[in-house]
Amino acid sequence: MTSSKPYGLLCPVSKACDLLGARWTLPILCEMWAGETRFNDIRRAVGGVSPTVLSRRLSEMEQSGLIARVEDRAQGTVDYVRTQKAIDLEPALMALGRWSQRNIEAEIALSYDVSTLMWAMRRLDTSAFPNRRIVIRFKFTESSGRHDTYWLLFRPGLPLEICVDVPGFDVDVFVETSEQSFAAVILGRSTIEREVGDGRLYLTGDAVMMRTLNEWFPRSGYADTDEILPTREPAYTEVS
């Protein structure tokens, strides 16, 4: 798998770009690094890629030795796993992510679809949750996706569930925010306190969950990047 036309430069970086430059290749590798192995899970996690394009890109990545296709005929399942060649890219991908945090303006970097944000919530750290069922409702203002309301359902011993239909249980925590505000907190471009103070994030609910908010609210591994570019302060118009 190479980009449409090789750069032809006497430079190892250009050769890496030839191999990795095809659209969606790096996002696919990042989601596989995060643990996704099934076709539909990768597609939902990446967001915006059609099944046809994803199928073609995975096939090209397999041919180039970046991933392996593992078929279990007995179970009728297919998984895609990274090879050592792809695993060796982890330091470069981490460095690229931190470079993005330091150098790309937040207003550009935070353009995520709400469905992509919520799909990532399946990897939420629930270790600070009480040992009981927890339901969190997320309401997004000005949503760019098909849905503006999602429910997270946690039940001890079971995988987290992200629902677009009312799960039928009492809600423990209500979250109302915008896509950009939510992404800003996750990526460390802003803080819960700042977003709440500026009126872009509203949180209320169970006392224990609210007390441990900073322990369970989603946060990316890139959020601790040094010298990160924060979101800009809102411009206020003075009322005479």
Q: What is the pLDDT along the chain (240 residues), one digit of tens a residue?
A: 555 566 666 678 888 888 888 899 999 999 999 899 999 999 988 888 999 999 999 999 999 999 999 999 999 999 999 999 999 999 999 999 999 999 999 888 888 888 888 888 888 889 999 999 999 999 998 777 778 999 999 999 999 999 999 999 999 999 999 999 999 999 999 999 999 999 999 999 999 999 999 999 999 889 999 999 998 866 433 333
pLDDT of residue 10: 61
Q: What is the pLDDT of residue 205?
A: 96
| pTM of the predicted model over 0.75 | yes
Is residue 171 classed exposed, middle or buried when 0-12, 13-18 and 19+ CB atoms within 10 A define those classes?
middle
Q: Calculate helix-pair angle for 25-33, 39-46, nearest 10 degrees.
A: 110
The pLDDT score that the predictor gives to residue 209 is 95
The residue to which tokens 């760019």 are assigned: 144
28-48 residues labelled b (16+ CB within 10 A) or e (exposed): bbbbbeeebbebebbbbbbbe
At 78, is the secondary structure helix, strand, or coil? Answer: strand
> What is the widest separation between alpha-carbon atoms in the chain?
73
Domains and CATH numbers, the chain: 12-88 (1.10.10.10), 107-216 (3.30.1050.10)
Nearest residue to 125 via CA among 223, 205, 56: 223
Q: Do the beta carbons of residue 110 and residue 183 sit within 8 Å? A: yes
225 contacts 188 by C-beta, under 8 angstroms = yes
Q: At what angle do helices 25-33 and 51-63 cross, to 10 degrees?
A: 80
